[in-house]
Amino acid sequence: MLDEKALSKAVCRIVVAATGLPANKVILADNNTAAPAGSYCAVRLQNPEQFGQALNSQRNVPAEDDPQYTDIIAKVATQFTLGFSINFYRSGAMGYAAAICEANKREPIKALLRTAKLGWSRVSPINNLTGLYQAAMEERAQLTLYLYGESIAEDRVQRIYRVGFSAQTEQSGATAQGEVNGLSG
């Protein structure tokens, strides 16, 4: 499953590395706390969008109930495009937003993306939201950073190693019974 908080924190680290803003000035949006003093950034994960086909794989593991047998671990990796709304407030907002564009070409950003197991897709155009705020102009900028990620789900599938059967013919009523197990060739 997608861990929204961990993904958002990874994007906060990317913003810190790309813009040079201090880590305490790059916050998760909607956290119900007061805004930091001075220039700052708020990051919010928007609706993740699934794309492509899920990647399915299986592997054998020892059975939990009897190690002479094996179970199957079925893995499904769903691919997502993750849109993060990145909002910069106060002095330097437009410059900070511009620093995000093409940031994926920088080595520190590449390392952060690899660590978080994310891929860079694109950055939306920068929206200049500068406007009048409490009788003064306050610089604001917003952009959306699109990253690729995946959500992995694993399920244990227990194999059936022993099956009993009973069959009866319609004409004579003769009954055959037996057992098939995974150890008999």
Domain holding 172, by residue range, is: 4-181
Average pLDDT over residues 45-65: 90
Q: What's 104's DSSP letter? A: G
Instruction: Kindly report, residue by residue over 140-149, the tens digit of the pLDDT.
Output: 999 999 999 9
Which strand (E) or helix (H) includes residue 19?
helix 4-19
Q: Which pLDDT does position 179 carry in this prediction?
A: 82
pTM given for the model? 0.77
Average pLDDT over residues 69-80: 92
Length of the chain: 185
Average pLDDT over residues 5-11: 93
% of the chain beyond a pLDDT of 90: 61
Instruction: Kindly report, residue by residue over 9-47, the tens digit of the pLDDT.
Output: 999 999 999 999 999 999 998 878 888 899 999 999 998
Q: Which pLDDT does position 185 carry in this prediction?
A: 44
CA atoms within a 13 Å half-sphere pointing along the CA-CB vector of 164? 2
Structural domains in the chain (count): 1
User: Helix or strand or coil: residue 145?
Assistant: strand
- Angstrom distance (rounded) from CA 73 to CA 57: 8
Q: Which pLDDT does position 133 carry in this prediction?
A: 65
- Angstrom distance (rounded) from CA 182 to CA 168: 24
